[in-house]
Amino acid sequence: MIKAKYSKKTFKFKSPSGTSRGILTEKHAWFIKLWDTEKPDVIGIGECSIIPGLSPDFSNFEEYESRLDLLTNDLSLDLTNWPSIKFGLETAQLDLENGGKQIIFNNAFTKGEIQIPINGLIWMGTERFMLNQIEEKLQSGFSTIKMKIGAIDFETEIKLLRLIRERYDSSEITLRVDANGAFSNKEALDKLKELSELDIHSIEQPIKQGQTKEMRKLCAITPLDIALDEELIGVNSIDEKTNLLSDIKPQYIILKPSLHGGISGTREWINIANSQSIPWWITSALESNIGLNAICQLAAEYNNPLPQGLGTGSLYKNNIDSDLEVKNGFIFKKN
């Protein structure tokens, strides 16, 4: 008989991290543990990770933990509208099936045979703070950098991107930007044109989600490739996913298992995107090393040459010990 319980942990950021939803100093996560009563020493663990204001299944702690209480008594509970919990449960189930050794997928990454290319993430903040981060990532060997924009004034952000381009052309450094829906519909195209002059690879979610008509128009005429992110949140059925992508026709999609339907939901998105020839990559949603490990293993199930968004393991003072390592723009398992 499979039993379940959960526990909560609060992770502390090494330094305050600016996002479009404010400054983050701590991060809450819940860990689901599963075990078979006949083999109580073998435990599967999965992480339920939320970002307030972004996670569709989190409004308050009481409601969230109430759902977790229900789940521990009924593992067949419908989690369609609870993607972060679904991701935690699926991870724990796969971990348990594979012997409770944090092996979610027994693939080349898990065995330490391959490395996954990743982008270096630049957090929002003052010009000096962001410039320091850029220098650090370049010195660390990253060839793809993702910069969050929309928190400080646009001209300052353009200035920072221009400084990078003056030193490194697009053959040396790939630049991605993430607007988190910060542009208004009226100004979006002009800003995309200005960004495109700097050889930007792509922009995530330039306008707010839920504006299908406007996003479709923008993707059709944009001078800069657009990647959907928040747009995919809350789109759960295969038909809805298929219709959304065929309607908007984005240049890319970005997948976060904790936001986009857990492991199984992410696989659905990938299958649909592949069928429509839409490239994609996977990004962590500020998970601790438990969740990050699972997402890395999921990403390694696919032969995707694009750099993934998996460089968040060093964010916390009190992260869980891990055999994951980031070096020269790659993440891999240490032997």
Active-site residue numbers?
A: 148, 256
Residues sharing a CB contact under 8 Å with residue 171, sequence separation 6 or more, in sequence order: none
**Phi (first) and psi of residue 180, to 5 degrees:** 50, 40
Q: Rg of the Cα trace of the chain?
A: 20
How far apart, in whole angstroms, are the C-alpha atoms of residue 141 and residue 130?
Answer: 17
**Largest pairwise CA distance in the chain:** 63
3-class DSSP assignment, residue 255: strand
Cα→Cα distances 105→80, 108, 113, 285, Å: 22, 9, 13, 20
Q: Which residue has the tokens 């309607």?
A: 247
* Cβ–Cβ under 8 Å, residues 258 and 234: no
CB 252 within 8 A of CB 276: no
CA–CA dist 78, 89 (Å, integer): 11
| DSSP bridge partners of 11 | 27
Q: How far apart are CA 241 and CA 243, in angstroms?
A: 6
Alpha carbons 59 and 277: distance in angstroms, whole number: 35
Write the burial class of residue 53 (CB in 10 Å: 0-12 exposed, 13-18 middle, 19+ buried): exposed
Helix (H) or strand (E) holding 29: strand 22-36
Cβ neighbours of residue 305 closer than 8 Å, sequence gap 6 or more: 117
